[in-house]
Amino acid sequence: MEYVTVSAKIPKELKELMSKYGIKPGPIIREAIEREVRRRILEEAEEKLRKLSEKLKNIGDEEIAELIREERDLK
């Protein structure tokens, strides 16, 4: 896995408190970024599913059954 460096500015007082409590920023920053990326991926997937759901509302049961039969015939 290849890594890159990112940086963030924080108040001096916060840095002093991190040092006092032995808090290393790397793991915390990584976890926060990973959590936010996962949240955005899920948000994007939910939006795509919502749009697809809207489109599928207009397809009747018979048309869905026909599409399933066609798919089975291809296999």
Q: Are 11 and 18 in contact (CB under 8 A)?
A: no
pTM above 0.75, yes or no: no
> Along the 75 residues of the chain, how does pLDDT read in single tens digits?
999 999 999 999 999 999 999 999 999 999 999 999 999 999 999 999 999 888 888 888 888 888 888 888 876
Residue-range domain boundaries for the chain? 12-74
- CA separation, residue 2 to residues 5, 19, 74 (Å): 10, 28, 42
Residue 18: what are its φ and ψ, rounded to 5°? Answer: -60, -45
